[in-house]
Protein backbone atom coordinates (compact mmCIF):
# COMPACT_ATOMS: atom_id res chain seq x y z
CA UNK A 1 0.00 0.00 0.00
CA UNK A 2 1.56 3.17 -1.24
CA UNK A 3 0.26 5.47 1.46
CA UNK A 4 1.57 3.59 4.46
CA UNK A 5 5.19 4.17 3.53
CA UNK A 6 4.78 7.88 3.99
CA UNK A 7 3.12 8.23 7.31
CA UNK A 8 4.34 10.47 10.10
CA UNK A 9 4.62 7.30 12.21
CA UNK A 10 7.58 6.32 10.06
CA UNK A 11 9.62 9.01 11.67
CA UNK A 12 10.26 6.88 14.69
CA UNK A 13 11.30 3.89 12.65
CA UNK A 14 14.08 5.90 11.12
CA UNK A 15 16.56 4.43 13.50
CA UNK A 16 18.02 2.23 10.82
CA UNK A 17 21.52 1.22 11.81
CA UNK A 18 24.15 3.51 10.44
CA UNK A 19 27.71 2.47 9.85
CA UNK A 20 29.03 3.89 13.10
CA UNK A 21 32.64 2.89 13.45
CA UNK A 22 32.29 -0.43 15.30
CA UNK A 23 30.65 1.09 18.35
CA UNK A 24 29.97 -2.19 20.11
CA UNK A 25 33.64 -3.08 20.25
CA UNK A 26 34.38 -0.03 22.38
CA UNK A 27 33.89 -0.05 26.14
CA UNK A 28 31.32 2.18 27.79
CA UNK A 29 33.98 4.61 28.97
CA UNK A 30 35.49 4.83 25.51
CA UNK A 31 32.09 5.53 23.98
CA UNK A 32 31.33 8.12 26.65
CA UNK A 33 34.62 9.87 25.90
CA UNK A 34 34.02 9.67 22.17
CA UNK A 35 30.44 11.05 22.37
CA UNK A 36 31.08 13.64 25.08
CA UNK A 37 30.43 16.51 22.67
CA UNK A 38 27.15 15.02 21.44
CA UNK A 39 25.95 14.65 25.02
CA UNK A 40 26.83 18.25 25.76
CA UNK A 41 24.76 19.34 22.77
CA UNK A 42 21.78 17.39 24.07
CA UNK A 43 22.15 18.66 27.62
CA UNK A 44 20.27 22.03 27.58
CA UNK A 45 17.25 20.53 25.83
CA UNK A 46 17.15 17.54 28.18
CA UNK A 47 17.41 19.80 31.23
CA UNK A 48 14.50 21.89 29.91
CA UNK A 49 12.40 18.76 29.45
CA UNK A 50 13.30 17.46 32.92
CA UNK A 51 12.44 20.79 34.56
CA UNK A 52 9.27 21.66 32.68
CA UNK A 53 7.92 18.25 31.83
CA UNK A 54 9.18 15.57 34.21
CA UNK A 55 9.25 17.71 37.35
CA UNK A 56 5.57 18.69 36.87
CA UNK A 57 4.86 15.01 36.22
CA UNK A 58 6.16 14.31 39.74
CA UNK A 59 4.13 17.29 40.95
CA UNK A 60 1.05 15.19 40.25
CA UNK A 61 1.58 13.67 43.72
CA UNK A 62 -0.49 16.55 45.09
CA UNK A 63 -3.47 14.68 43.68
CA UNK A 64 -2.99 12.46 46.75
CA UNK A 65 -2.55 15.38 49.16
CA UNK A 66 -4.61 18.02 50.88
CA UNK A 67 -2.30 20.50 49.21
CA UNK A 68 -1.94 23.91 50.82
CA UNK A 69 0.22 26.41 48.92
CA UNK A 70 1.78 27.85 52.10
CA UNK A 71 2.75 24.37 53.34
CA UNK A 72 4.15 23.17 50.01
CA UNK A 73 4.33 19.57 48.82
CA UNK A 74 6.51 18.37 51.70
CA UNK A 75 4.33 19.99 54.38
CA UNK A 76 0.86 19.09 53.11
CA UNK A 77 -1.06 16.09 54.48
CA UNK A 78 -1.40 12.87 52.50
CA UNK A 79 -5.01 11.90 52.02
CA UNK A 80 -4.78 8.85 49.77
CA UNK A 81 -7.51 8.68 47.15
CA UNK A 82 -9.83 11.15 48.87
CA UNK A 83 -9.43 13.77 46.11
CA UNK A 84 -10.55 11.21 43.55
CA UNK A 85 -13.93 10.82 45.24
CA UNK A 86 -15.16 13.72 43.10
CA UNK A 87 -14.75 11.42 40.14
CA UNK A 88 -15.82 8.11 41.63
CA UNK A 89 -18.77 9.43 43.65
CA UNK A 90 -19.87 11.62 40.76
CA UNK A 91 -19.71 15.19 42.02
CA UNK A 92 -22.40 17.04 39.99
CA UNK A 93 -20.06 19.80 38.85
CA UNK A 94 -17.52 17.28 37.64
CA UNK A 95 -20.14 15.17 35.88
CA UNK A 96 -21.42 18.29 34.19
CA UNK A 97 -17.96 19.17 32.89
CA UNK A 98 -17.49 15.57 31.72
CA UNK A 99 -20.84 15.63 29.91
CA UNK A 100 -20.07 18.91 28.13
CA UNK A 101 -16.64 17.59 27.16
CA UNK A 102 -18.07 14.39 25.68
CA UNK A 103 -20.81 16.22 23.77
CA UNK A 104 -18.22 18.57 22.27
CA UNK A 105 -15.98 15.62 21.41
CA UNK A 106 -18.83 13.87 19.61
CA UNK A 107 -19.71 17.07 17.71
CA UNK A 108 -16.08 17.44 16.71
CA UNK A 109 -15.69 13.85 15.59
CA UNK A 110 -18.82 14.16 13.46
CA UNK A 111 -18.16 17.61 11.96
CA UNK A 112 -14.49 18.50 12.40
CA UNK A 113 -12.84 15.17 11.61
CA UNK A 114 -14.39 14.50 8.16
CA UNK A 115 -14.30 18.14 7.00
CA UNK A 116 -10.66 18.13 5.79
CA UNK A 117 -11.20 14.80 4.02
CA UNK A 118 -14.15 16.24 2.10
CA UNK A 119 -12.29 19.44 1.30
CA UNK A 120 -9.21 17.51 0.17
CA UNK A 121 -11.31 15.34 -2.14
CA UNK A 122 -12.94 18.47 -3.55
CA UNK A 123 -9.60 20.20 -4.13
CA UNK A 124 -8.10 17.07 -5.60
CA UNK A 125 -10.92 16.70 -8.12
CA UNK A 126 -10.16 20.11 -9.64
CA UNK A 127 -7.82 19.94 -12.56
CA UNK A 128 -6.42 23.47 -12.34
CA UNK A 129 -3.20 23.45 -10.36
CA UNK A 130 -3.23 27.21 -9.75
CA UNK A 131 -6.81 27.31 -8.44
CA UNK A 132 -5.81 24.59 -6.03
CA UNK A 133 -2.79 26.54 -4.89
CA UNK A 134 -4.66 29.83 -4.40
CA UNK A 135 -7.45 28.13 -2.47
CA UNK A 136 -4.93 26.29 -0.31
CA UNK A 137 -3.04 29.50 0.51
CA UNK A 138 -6.26 31.14 1.66
CA UNK A 139 -7.63 28.22 3.62
CA UNK A 140 -4.40 27.35 5.46
CA UNK A 141 -4.16 30.82 6.95
CA UNK A 142 -6.62 30.56 9.87
CA UNK A 143 -4.55 27.72 11.36
CA UNK A 144 -1.80 30.21 12.19
CA UNK A 145 -4.04 32.61 14.10
CA UNK A 146 -4.28 32.44 17.88
CA UNK A 147 -7.59 31.55 19.49
CA UNK A 148 -7.88 35.08 20.82
CA UNK A 149 -7.82 36.40 17.28
CA UNK A 150 -10.25 33.76 16.00
CA UNK A 151 -12.71 34.46 18.81
CA UNK A 152 -12.41 38.21 18.19
CA UNK A 153 -13.02 37.74 14.45
CA UNK A 154 -16.11 35.62 15.14
CA UNK A 155 -17.43 38.31 17.48
CA UNK A 156 -16.91 41.01 14.88
CA UNK A 157 -18.83 39.08 12.27
CA UNK A 158 -21.49 37.18 14.23
CA UNK A 159 -21.80 39.24 17.43
CA UNK A 160 -24.97 41.11 18.38
CA UNK A 161 -23.37 44.35 17.21
CA UNK A 162 -21.29 42.60 14.57
CA UNK A 163 -21.16 42.84 10.83
CA UNK A 164 -23.95 40.34 10.08
CA UNK A 165 -26.49 41.76 12.53
CA UNK A 166 -25.59 45.34 11.55
CA UNK A 167 -26.34 44.54 7.96
CA UNK A 168 -29.60 42.77 8.83
CA UNK A 169 -30.65 45.67 11.07
CA UNK A 170 -29.82 48.24 8.38
CA UNK A 171 -32.20 46.40 6.04
CA UNK A 172 -34.89 46.15 8.68
CA UNK A 173 -34.56 42.41 9.04
CA UNK A 174 -34.61 40.09 12.04
CA UNK A 175 -31.26 39.75 13.83
CA UNK A 176 -29.73 36.59 15.29
CA UNK A 177 -28.18 36.27 18.72
CA UNK A 178 -25.33 33.81 18.20
CA UNK A 179 -22.42 34.97 20.36
CA UNK A 180 -23.28 34.73 24.05
CA UNK A 181 -26.28 32.51 23.37
CA UNK A 182 -26.01 29.45 25.67
CA UNK A 183 -28.12 27.28 23.35
CA UNK A 184 -25.75 27.77 20.45
CA UNK A 185 -22.49 27.67 22.42
CA UNK A 186 -21.44 24.15 21.44
CA UNK A 187 -22.35 24.74 17.81
CA UNK A 188 -20.32 27.96 17.85
CA UNK A 189 -17.29 26.22 19.38
CA UNK A 190 -17.47 23.45 16.79
CA UNK A 191 -17.84 25.85 13.87
CA UNK A 192 -14.86 27.86 15.07
CA UNK A 193 -12.72 24.71 15.04
CA UNK A 194 -13.96 23.92 11.53
CA UNK A 195 -13.15 27.47 10.37
CA UNK A 196 -9.68 27.43 11.90
CA UNK A 197 -8.35 23.98 11.07
CA UNK A 198 -10.20 22.43 8.13
CA UNK A 199 -7.90 23.97 5.51
CA UNK A 200 -4.75 23.00 7.36
CA UNK A 201 -6.11 19.49 7.93
CA UNK A 202 -6.18 18.88 4.18
CA UNK A 203 -2.35 18.91 3.92
CA UNK A 204 -1.89 15.31 5.01
CA UNK A 205 -4.87 14.08 3.00
CA UNK A 206 -3.76 15.85 -0.18
CA UNK A 207 -0.32 14.27 0.22
CA UNK A 208 -1.89 10.84 0.67
CA UNK A 209 -4.19 11.38 -2.34
CA UNK A 210 -1.25 12.27 -4.56
CA UNK A 211 0.39 8.94 -3.69
CA UNK A 212 -2.51 6.80 -4.85
CA UNK A 213 -1.41 4.90 -7.94
CA UNK A 214 -3.00 6.51 -11.04
CA UNK A 215 -3.08 3.06 -12.66
CA UNK A 216 -5.81 2.06 -10.18
CA UNK A 217 -8.07 4.84 -11.51
CA UNK A 218 -7.30 3.94 -15.11
CA UNK A 219 -8.04 0.28 -14.50
CA UNK A 220 -11.34 1.05 -12.80
CA UNK A 221 -12.22 3.42 -15.66
CA UNK A 222 -11.67 0.59 -18.11
CA UNK A 223 -13.87 -1.63 -15.97
CA UNK A 224 -16.59 1.02 -16.20
CA UNK A 225 -16.61 2.10 -12.54
CA UNK A 226 -18.56 5.26 -11.78
CA UNK A 227 -17.02 8.19 -9.89
CA UNK A 228 -18.77 7.08 -6.70
CA UNK A 229 -17.45 3.54 -7.01
CA UNK A 230 -13.95 4.86 -7.65
CA UNK A 231 -14.22 6.95 -4.51
CA UNK A 232 -15.32 3.93 -2.52
CA UNK A 233 -12.95 1.31 -3.96
CA UNK A 234 -9.83 3.30 -4.83
CA UNK A 235 -9.67 6.66 -3.08
CA UNK A 236 -10.94 5.82 0.40
CA UNK A 237 -8.85 2.62 0.74
CA UNK A 238 -5.87 4.79 -0.21
CA UNK A 239 -6.64 7.11 2.67
CA UNK A 240 -7.48 4.40 5.19
CA UNK A 241 -4.15 4.17 7.02
CA UNK A 242 -3.98 7.93 7.44
CA UNK A 243 -7.56 8.11 8.70
CA UNK A 244 -6.81 5.33 11.21
CA UNK A 245 -3.64 7.10 12.36
CA UNK A 246 -5.38 10.45 12.86
CA UNK A 247 -8.33 8.70 14.48
CA UNK A 248 -6.06 7.09 17.07
CA UNK A 249 -4.38 10.40 17.84
CA UNK A 250 -7.80 12.08 18.14
CA UNK A 251 -8.92 9.35 20.52
CA UNK A 252 -6.12 10.32 22.91
CA UNK A 253 -7.71 13.77 23.04
CA UNK A 254 -11.25 12.58 23.68
CA UNK A 255 -11.27 14.44 27.01
CA UNK A 256 -9.48 17.52 25.62
CA UNK A 257 -11.56 20.16 23.88
CA UNK A 258 -9.97 23.55 23.30
CA UNK A 259 -9.12 25.08 26.68
CA UNK A 260 -8.12 28.51 25.33
CA UNK A 261 -11.07 28.71 22.99
CA UNK A 262 -13.56 27.93 25.76
CA UNK A 263 -11.95 30.00 28.54
CA UNK A 264 -12.17 33.02 26.23
CA UNK A 265 -15.91 32.62 25.70
CA UNK A 266 -17.15 31.25 29.02
CA UNK A 267 -18.08 34.61 30.53
CA UNK A 268 -21.30 35.53 28.73
CA UNK A 269 -22.80 32.02 28.46
CA UNK A 270 -22.09 30.73 31.98
CA UNK A 271 -20.36 27.52 33.07
CA UNK A 272 -23.54 25.44 32.75
CA UNK A 273 -23.13 24.94 29.04
CA UNK A 274 -19.45 25.75 28.71
CA UNK A 275 -17.55 24.02 31.52
CA UNK A 276 -15.32 21.23 30.18
CA UNK A 277 -12.74 19.17 32.08
CA UNK A 278 -9.80 21.49 31.32
CA UNK A 279 -11.69 24.62 32.35
CA UNK A 280 -13.00 22.75 35.42
CA UNK A 281 -9.39 22.06 36.47
CA UNK A 282 -8.41 25.69 35.82
CA UNK A 283 -11.44 27.32 37.46
CA UNK A 284 -11.46 24.99 40.47
CA UNK A 285 -7.73 24.71 40.99
CA UNK A 286 -5.91 27.84 39.94
CA UNK A 287 -8.77 30.26 40.46
CA UNK A 288 -10.67 28.38 43.20
CA UNK A 289 -7.77 26.98 45.24
CA UNK A 290 -9.01 23.36 45.23
CA UNK A 291 -5.54 22.17 44.27
CA UNK A 292 -5.73 18.49 45.22
CA UNK A 293 -9.09 17.78 43.59
CA UNK A 294 -8.19 19.60 40.38
CA UNK A 295 -4.86 17.82 40.14
CA UNK A 296 -6.67 14.49 40.64
CA UNK A 297 -9.09 15.25 37.80
CA UNK A 298 -6.20 16.37 35.56
CA UNK A 299 -4.24 13.22 36.37
CA UNK A 300 -7.12 10.86 35.62
CA UNK A 301 -7.78 12.73 32.38
CA UNK A 302 -4.14 12.29 31.31
CA UNK A 303 -4.04 8.59 32.20
CA UNK A 304 -7.31 7.90 30.37
CA UNK A 305 -5.91 9.68 27.28
CA UNK A 306 -2.76 7.55 27.24
CA UNK A 307 -4.73 4.36 27.83
CA UNK A 308 -7.04 5.17 24.92
CA UNK A 309 -4.14 5.84 22.52
CA UNK A 310 -2.34 2.64 23.51
CA UNK A 311 -5.58 0.64 23.33
CA UNK A 312 -6.59 2.03 19.95
CA UNK A 313 -3.12 1.43 18.58
CA UNK A 314 -3.30 -2.21 19.71
CA UNK A 315 -6.70 -2.50 18.04
CA UNK A 316 -5.31 -1.03 14.82
CA UNK A 317 -2.56 -3.67 14.81
CA UNK A 318 -5.12 -6.42 15.30
CA UNK A 319 -6.92 -5.16 12.20
CA UNK A 320 -3.66 -5.13 10.27
CA UNK A 321 -3.09 -1.38 10.22
CA UNK A 322 0.18 0.28 11.00
CA UNK A 323 -1.14 2.69 13.64
CA UNK A 324 0.96 5.35 15.30
CA UNK A 325 3.93 3.16 16.13
CA UNK A 326 4.88 -0.46 15.93
CA UNK A 327 5.58 -2.47 19.04
Partner 1 sequence: MSATAARRAVTAPPGIGKFSAVSAKVVVLVICCAVVILPFLSVVSTSIADQKQITNAGGYVLWPTHPSLNAYRAILNGGVVTRALMVSIGITVVGTLLSLTATTALAYGLSRSGSFAHKPILMVVLFTLLFGPGIIPNYLVIKELGLLNSYWSLILPTLINAFNVIVIRAFIMNIPQDLIDSAKIDGATEMQVLRRIVLPLSKAVLSVIGLFFAVGYWNNFFNALLYMNDTSKWPLQLVLRTYVVNNAPLGSDQLQVGAEALPPPQSLQMAILVISLVPILLVYPFLQRHFAKGVLLGAVKG
Site string for partner 1, 146-175 (x = CB under 8 A): xxxx-xxxxxxx---xxx--x--xx-----
Q: Is 56 in the site for partner 1 (CB under 8 A)?
A: yes
Q: Is 40 in the site for partner 1 (CB under 8 A)?
A: yes
Within 232-251, which residues bind partner 1 (CB under 8 A)?
Answer: none
Q: Which of 106/148 has CB closer to partner 1?
A: 148
Within 88-117, which residues bind partner 1 (CB under 8 A)?
Answer: none
DSSP annotation of 287: I
Q: Is 51 exposed, middle or buried (0-12, 13-18, 19+ CB in 10 A)?
A: exposed
Site string for partner 1, 199-218 (x = CB under 8 A): x---x---x-----------
- What is the DSSP track for 141-163? GGGGS-HHHHHHHHHHHHSTTSH
Q: What is the CA radius of gyration of the chain?
A: 25
Q: How far apart are CA 120 and CA 124, in angstroms?
A: 6
Using the contact rule CB under 8 A, the part of the chain among 76-84, 93-101, 213-221, 304-312 near partner 1 is 304-312
Q: Is 308 in the site for partner 1 (CB under 8 A)?
A: no
Q: Which residues of 140-175 are buried (b: 16+ CB within 10 A; e: fewer)?
A: bebeeeebeebbebbbeebbbebeebeeeeeeeeee
Residues forming beta bridges with residue 66, ordered by sequence position: 77
What SS3 state is found at 79?
A: coil
Residues in the interface with partner 1 (CB under 8 A) total 108
Using the contact rule CB under 8 A, the part of the chain among 17-25, 80-88, 93-101, 235-243 near partner 1 is 17-25
Q: Is 49 in the site for partner 1 (CB under 8 A)?
A: yes
For residue 120, the minimal CB distance to partner 1 (Å) is: 12
Q: How far apart are CA 49 and CA 53, in angstroms?
A: 5
Sequence-separated (6 or more) residues with CB below 8 Å from residue 54 = none
For residue 103, the minimal CB distance to partner 1 (Å) is: 21
Distances, alpha carbon 35 to alpha carbons 20, 24, 41, 42, 303, in Å: 12, 13, 10, 11, 36
For residue 88, the minimal CB distance to partner 1 (Å) is: 19
Q: How far apart are CA 2 and CA 241, in angstroms?
A: 10
Q: Which of 186/252 has CB closer to partner 1?
A: 252
For residue 180, the minimal CB distance to partner 1 (Å) is: 11
Q: Is 299 in the site for partner 1 (CB under 8 A)?
A: yes
233 within 8 A of 245, measured Cβ to Cβ: no
Using the contact rule CB under 8 A, the part of the chain among 81-89, 99-107, 136-144, 215-223 near partner 1 is 136-144
For residue 234, the minimal CB distance to partner 1 (Å) is: 19
Using the contact rule CB under 8 A, the part of the chain among 75-83, 145-153, 212-220, 234-242 near partner 1 is 145-153
Residues forming beta bridges with residue 77, ordered by sequence position: 66
Amino acid sequence: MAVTEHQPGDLLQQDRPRPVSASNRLSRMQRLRRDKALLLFALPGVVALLLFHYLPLLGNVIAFQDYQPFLGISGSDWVGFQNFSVIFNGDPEFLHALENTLILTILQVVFVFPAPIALALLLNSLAHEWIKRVVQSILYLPHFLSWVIVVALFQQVLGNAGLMNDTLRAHGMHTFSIIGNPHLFKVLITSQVVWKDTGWGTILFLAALSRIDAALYEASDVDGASRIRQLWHVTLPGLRSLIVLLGILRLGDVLTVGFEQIVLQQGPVGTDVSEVLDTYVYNNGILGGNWGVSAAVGLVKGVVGVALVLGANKLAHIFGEQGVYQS
